[in-house]
Amino acid sequence: MAVDTIFSKIVRGEIPADIVYQDDLVTAFRDINAQAPTHILVVPNHVVPGADDVTERDEAVLGRLFRVATAVARAEGIGQSGYRLIVNCGADGGQEVPHLHMHVLGGRPLGRMLPG
């Protein structure tokens, strides 16, 4: 059976989300727990559990993911003011959802990359 995640259900439209962009490879939607005025997640439409699971077959989707993340940032009006792209990986990386996703955060100064 194929691996399924909460983000897969969002991709397929089975649970509601504020989707801002979708194409054949990736989907972008607003994070339910926004940490900044702009907080959007960009995910591959197929499940890649995390950054550590990326393989050669994911190269096209990851290129698209990066391009869509930056296009979404520009569409949100933060292309010039700046933003942060984050991919959390695994327990120590703080990854909660086992479906690779890139956070697009901006709309205010985000400070240092890590606290402390």
Determine, following the binding rule CB under 6 A, whether residue 48 of this chain makes contact with ligand DGP: no
How many CB atoms within 10 Å of residue 42?
A: 26
59 φ/ψ sector (left φ>0, alpha ψ -120 to 50, else beta): alpha
Determine, following the binding rule CB under 6 A, whether residue 32 of this chain makes contact with ligand DGP: yes
Cβ at position 49, least distance to ligand DGP in Å: 11
- Closer residue to ligand DGP, CB minimum distance, 32 or 60: 32
Q: Which amino acid, residue 37?
A: P
Determine, following the binding rule CB under 6 A, whether residue 31 of this chain makes contact with ligand DGP: yes
